[in-house]
Amino acid sequence: MMTPLLQVALGGALGASARYLTNTTVTRLLGHGFPVGTLMVNIVGSFLMGVLVVVLAKKGGQAAAPFLMTGILGGFTTFSAFSLDAVTLYERGQAAAAMGYVLGSVVVSILALMAGLMLARMVLA
């Protein structure tokens, strides 16, 4: 039997490969103007995360969660995990925390990316 870490590693490789193939295929078909491939990956990954949460809970498949959820879907898109976390907070009655999590994740992540760009450009200028 594989350890959970090995399950995540194998699933992650498969998910990341699927993300790459999806992005390159969509970009070839539709062009570079808008990141449709990334949008598609985020939507499909979030949908599949919702399906898996219910199926694994109902069918007692929690042993497959590291491979399927963290591995494959985590490699395919971390947006699915983000979406699950936000909805879980909301369903627990923590709407304010869910909203804070969503806004904080999106806004702070974009600001962090911008800070990283500025720092790297200053250092490498």
Domain boundaries, the chain: 4-77
112: pLDDT strictly greater than 80:
yes
Residue type, 35: P
113: pLDDT strictly greater than 90:
no
Q: Which helix (H) or strand (E) holds 63?
A: none
Residue type, 114: M
Residue type, 25: T
pLDDT of residue 35: 87
Mean pLDDT of 29-34: 90
Q: To the nearest whole number, what is the mean pLDDT of the chain?
A: 93
pLDDT of residue 2: 86
Query: Alpha-carbon distance 89 to 31, whole Å?
Result: 37
At 98, is the pLDDT very low, low, confident or very high (cuts 50, 70, 90)? very high
Rounded to two decimals, the pTM is 0.80
Query: Alpha-carbon distance 125 to 114, whole Å?
Result: 16
Query: Alpha-carbon distance 69 to 78, whole Å?
Result: 10
Query: Alpha-carbon distance 11 to 28, whole Å?
Result: 26
